[in-house]
Amino acid sequence: MLAATASSAVTQGVQIQLADPGLAERSPGEEFAWSVRGTGAGEDRVVPFRAHLPAVFPLFATRPRYAVRHLLKTASVADAPVPFVHEPAAAHAASGTSYASTPEGSFTSRVERAELTDLKVRVPLPAGLLDEPALLASFIDYRVLVRLSVVENQTLLHGSDDKAVTGLLDLPGIRTGSLGDDVYASITEAAAEVEETGGSCDGIVVHPFTYWELVRAGVLGQLGAAGITVSRTRMIPRGQVLLGDFRAAATLLVPGVASLTLLRGQGPDGTDVVEASSRIGFAIHLPQHFLLLTSD
């Protein structure tokens, strides 16, 4: 996960501190704290990683809270635009009982290229934190990386500012439906509707308010038994539910390009800032395998 050299380099006036090969593998926070030790006042420093930083937030390993990323298959790719097959539906129609009368019998296909973009978040550092390596490492691992995961949820759902990633809620070709007063009936009906295009509904994204209603009603366990993983995030509006065959319909592309950067004096009132960055791409193979429910 970490770079394998102990040397430093200067790029565009910013010193880049690379990892120490003589030390055991550290967490991103530990690596950052080790790398910025002794940094002079006014000196920025970039600590690069060959990793996807949102994926290494420690608490993902110990509690079943799923980000949007957890619903998707992930592919390691080169740091360049990625070719993939896009297979949209000619039209949305109910499936018949022969292959020729199924929607996928008339799917078209073409090769497209997914561009890459950088997820970024800046977090101010409390005064004195740079002098406390263990505390700094914990702050990076538990507070900064979780914020980057929120940015990733936002990007996967709403798209990136540079348009490299089209968000799932705005996909051309996505199917839509109504989220009625009986949210449980709406979800189960929509899950079956996802499978009209030949997919298998394996994931749902909901707002936390909807998630905990599913828990209260005892529906969450039933969805899990049916093979559906539920992701909850504030990045989806309360009145929307996104269902889909996530693993077949889309791929999260990870080139393993990431960094943690110490930026001196660029926070509020001249405070220091850490910027976390992790590069991704997003290939949408089958937009019709997603169905978005919206309340009236």
pLDDT digits (tens, 9 = 90+) for 195-254: 998 889 999 999 999 999 999 999 999 999 999 999 999 999 999 999 999 999 999 999
Q: Measure the CA–CA gap between 204 and 213, rounded to whole angstroms.
A: 14
Parallel, antiparallel or unpaired: strands 229-232 and 250-254:
unpaired
Residue 71: the pLDDT is: 97
Residue 67: the pLDDT is: 96
Taking residues 177-187, report their average pLDDT.
Answer: 92
Residue 105: the pLDDT is: 81
What digits encode the pLDDT tens for the residues 104-127? 887 889 999 999 999 999 999 999
How many CA within 13 A on the CB side of residue 2? 23
Highest averaged pLDDT of the listed ranges 175-184, 214-223, 255-264: 255-264
Q: How far is CA 259 from CA 3, 19, 76, 138, 173, in A?
A: 11, 12, 17, 17, 35
Which residue(s) pair with 261 in the sheet?
A: 46, 275
pLDDT band for position 34 (cuts 50, 70, 90): very high
Residue, of 2 and 147, whose pLDDT is higher: 147
User: Percentage of residues in the chain with pLDDT exceeding 70?
Assistant: 91
The closest alpha carbon to 90, from 81, 74, 101, 82, belongs to 101
pLDDT band for position 267 (cuts 50, 70, 90): confident
For the chain, the average pLDDT equals 89
Taking residues 137-162, report their average pLDDT.
Answer: 97
| 148, pLDDT greater than 50 | yes
Residue 72: the pLDDT is: 97
- Is this structure's pTM higher than 0.85? yes
Residue 40: the pLDDT is: 76
What digits encode the pLDDT tens for the residues 49-99? 999 999 999 988 888 899 999 999 999 999 999 999 999 887 667 777 888
SS3 83: strand
Which of the residue ranges 102-106, 132-136, 182-186, 195-199 would you say has the lowest mean pLDDT? 102-106
| 292, pLDDT greater than 80 | yes
